[in-house]
A and B are shown apart, each in its own frame.
Chain A
Amino acid sequence: MLPGSILQQLAIAHEQSPRPLRFGVYYKNTLVALCHALEDSILSSHSQPLVIAAFQRGKWYLQEAERYQELAAESRQVVIMAAAESGFFEHSTSQLANVALVDLDPTDPVAQEWHLIILSPTYTAMVLCQELSPSDYGAAGLPKTDLERKFYGFWTFEPALVQEIVELAIAHIGKYNPSLQQTLTAQVKDIVAAGDSPLPEDLSGIVSRVVDYLQISQEDLIANQHPEVAAAQQPVLDVNLVSNKLQAFVRMAQLIELVSTGNPMATSEVAALAEVMGQMLDLPAWQLKRLKLAGWLHGLVALPITENLVVSPFPSCSLVSEVQALRRMPRLQAIAHIITHQTEWWNGQGIPAGIAGEAIPLESRILGLIAHFDRLVNQFAQELPNSPPQEIWQQALGECQTEAGDRWEPKLVETLTLLVMGMQQGLSLPIAPPKITSGIWLLDTPQAAEIHTAEANRNYIYGT
């Protein structure tokens, strides 16, 4: 990371945080689609945001300047950072009253960065990346085409992170233009005062747009709309697009979970617990992976409100749209099916289908129990901050045990009991934020034969 770059400042600020940031690799092809989707969401959100964009060089801005004219009309303020090249100041977009230009010194590390930061009371998003230097490409060699240029960094919808970055960016802008810094600082103050929503409005619509735009890029690659990209390189770009489609969903699920539990690691905890539980049940590798991905995405369905639960601020009807968004990716349909049925009850009294027993997909039964257990653990940890974790686990387990046979499959509650015993004796779970690249395999639908084998194994496990 370049010293003094915004990415590096973000990394340093989060070095000691309980949830370290994980940077990803992005090809320019992916970044263009991602940024266009996030920018176009400004037009549909009517949120009048502050937009800060860093383009490296004036010529990259000029390629987008026509689009930015439309974006400026729907924005409170647009700031463009780039190392000026001819036409930078002259373009009609540059002349607009609410567009400010920052002519970056070519030696400024920020001139190697690609930012899109959107802050408003109802819509927040950001992309923060840095380009590899020619020597960083190493043995693989320099990219042959513009679309293959490689960046690394981070993107998110999370309002708190976006606000943090806006403040870093404004401080940097202040080195060039102190009066603009003052104006922007005042605007941020107004936006923060006006926004009390922890979650962007219409998040599922924005995520759907991101997925659609990445899909279009992928189709363009497949249809060879970019003959300049060598055939050998196309799968690499393709994987990067697919993994970002999945990341869009995971980010949405994480954010919903964060808002409803207050725990930024809730999603990772559920995924790790579900995987260990699957291992204890000796599920085959493909089913474990599917279970883990469903764990990452389970937050897309709000749990039904009961007296034992922290009341979710989201009515379940509106969240169905998040699951529908998932179905836009054909290979995620199995996951959508699992998380849709995680709220069924073993006795058939649950929702949405009211199915009972083994008619409920096994992964849904596991996930429902684990998500409920984790939610109780988080709730008790907040209510009883001085209790040791062993007691909190025991209490949460106790609640699950009282509902065995009604809400939960008794065998699964027994397995959870063993898991909790293990945790009380020092078993630690590898709770890590999702690594999306390795998650791609999860998207492959297993062959019918594998499902058959899984059912056979399952009967073997339960002796039926």
Chain B
Amino acid sequence: MELNAIRDGKIKCLPGADLEDADFVGADLRGINLAGANLTGANFSRANLERAHLEGANLMAAQLIGTDLRAHLLGANLMQADLTGADLRGSNLRGANLMTAKLIQASFAGAFLSGANLTNGNLQGADLRGADLRGVNLTGANLLGADLSYADLTGVLLNQANLEEADLQGANLAGANLTGANLLCAELAGANLTGANLTGTCLLGAAV
């Protein structure tokens, strides 16, 4: 059976494969090539996908809970996927679709997300320290308590986003759209807000 062979690490090269709803819970899939594969609804929870090639893969509604996803995800579709607690440190997620994805407590430190779409994503408590978030769409996203310190948020769309208690220390928010965003008790020391739109933004208790 092909699935067992993949799980056992015997098959490593599967670009464009159709693995919809496949079960890879806890599997060691380091370095696997699944670029452009159909992985809709697949379950990779607690699997190890370090250095895997997932460029352009369709991971819509996939389960990636606690997964080591320090992988190549350029242009991947992760819409509605569950990435709770996933490890995405330093990953390339440029142009990826993460609309309404669940990213609670996920680690994105140093990741590259420029041009990604995170509209209405749930990033509560996520670690985005030093991440490249230039031009990312975070409209309506929930970033309660997220750590965005020293992240590059140039031109980011954060309208109606929840940034309550978020850490934006040293972050670059030049030209960001924060219309109607909630920054209650957020940390903004050393943040660059040049040209940012703060119309209707709640900044109570924020440390500027």
Which residues on A are within 8 Å of B, measured CB to CB?
1, 20, 22-25, 130, 132, 136, 138-140, 150, 152-153, 239, 243, 284-286, 430, 432, 435-441, 444, 446-447, 449-450, 453
Contact B182 A432 (CB under 8 A): no
Q: How far is the CB of B5 from chain A (nearest CB, A)?
A: 20
Q: Which 9 A-B pairs have the closest CB atoms?
A: A437-B145, A441-B105, A285-B87, A23-B205, A285-B107, A152-B205, A438-B145, A438-B125, A449-B26
Q: How far is the CA of A240 from the CA of B11 in the complex (A)?
A: 46
Chain A CB within 8 A of B127 CB: yes
What residue in chain B is nearest A456 (Cβ atoms)? B28
Contact B169 A449 (CB under 8 A): no
Q: How far is the CA of A132 from the CA of B184 in the complex (A)?
A: 10
Q: How far is the CB of A440 from chain B (nearest CB, A)?
A: 6
Chain A CB within 8 A of B89 CB: yes
Contact A132/B204 with A22-B187, A24-B165, A430-B149 known, Cβ cut-off 8 Å: yes
Chain A CB within 8 A of B144 CB: yes
Q: How far is the CA of A444 from the CA of B105 in the complex (A)?
A: 10
Chain A CB within 8 A of B75 CB: no
Q: How far is the CB of A343 from chain B (nearest CB, A)?
A: 29
Chain A CB within 8 A of B53 CB: no
Instruction: Please name 28 pairs of A and B residues whose Cβ atoms are closer than 8 Å in the assembled complex, sorted by A.
Output: A1-B205, A20-B189, A22-B207, A23-B205, A23-B207, A132-B204, A136-B202, A138-B182, A139-B182, A140-B182, A152-B204, A152-B205, A284-B87, A285-B89, A286-B85, A435-B147, A437-B144, A438-B146, A438-B167, A440-B125, A440-B145, A441-B105, A444-B105, A446-B66, A447-B66, A449-B26, A450-B46, A453-B68
Please, which residues of chain B bring their CB within 8 A of the CB of A136? 184, 202, 204
Q: How far is the CA of A153 from the CA of B144 in the complex (A)?
A: 16
Please, which residues of chain B bring their CB within 8 A of the CB of A449? 26, 46
Contact B204 A441 (CB under 8 A): no
Please, which residues of chain B bring their CB within 8 A of the CB of A23? 185, 205, 207
Contact A138 B180 (CB under 8 A): yes
* New contact pairs (7) apart from A432-B167, A444-B85, A453-B46, CB-CB < 8 Å: A24-B165, A25-B184, A130-B204, A136-B204, A140-B182, A286-B87, A430-B129
Contact of A24 among B87, B162, B185 (CB under 8 A): B185
Contact A441 B165 (CB under 8 A): no
What residue in chain A is nearest B182 (Cβ atoms)? A138
Q: How far is the CB of A165 from chain B (nearest CB, A)?
A: 16
Please, which residues of chain A bring their CB within 8 A of the CB of B156? none
Q: How far is the CA of A23 from the CA of B129 in the complex (A)?
A: 20
B196-207 to A contact mask, C-beta < 8 Å, 1/0: 000010101101
Chain A CB within 8 A of B152 CB: no
Contact A25/B66 with A20-B207, A430-B129, A449-B46 known, Cβ cut-off 8 Å: no
Q: How far is the CA of A190 from the CA of B187 in the complex (A)?
A: 38
Please, which residues of chain B bring their CB within 8 A of the CB of A444? 85, 105
Contact A1/B167 with A438-B125, A440-B125 known, Cβ cut-off 8 Å: no
Please, which residues of chain B bring their CB within 8 A of the CB of A436? 145
Q: How far is the CB of B4 from chain A (nearest CB, A)?
A: 18
Please, which residues of chain B bring their CB within 8 A of the CB of A446? 66
Contact A138 B202 (CB under 8 A): yes
Q: How far is the CA of A233 from the CA of B180 in the complex (A)?
A: 20
Q: How far is the CB of A271 from chain B (nearest CB, A)?
A: 13
What residue in chain A is nearest B87 (Cβ atoms)? A285
What residue in chain B is nearest A21 (Cβ atoms)? B207
Q: How far is the CB of A239 from chain B (nearest CB, A)?
A: 8
Please, which residues of chain A bring their CB within 8 A of the CB of B200? 138
Contact B202 A441 (CB under 8 A): no
Please, which residues of chain A bring their CB within 8 A of the CB of B82? none
What residue in chain A is nearest B68 (Cβ atoms)? A284
Q: How far is the CB of A242 from chain B (nearest CB, A)?
A: 11
Q: How far is the CB of A230 from chain B (nearest CB, A)?
A: 17
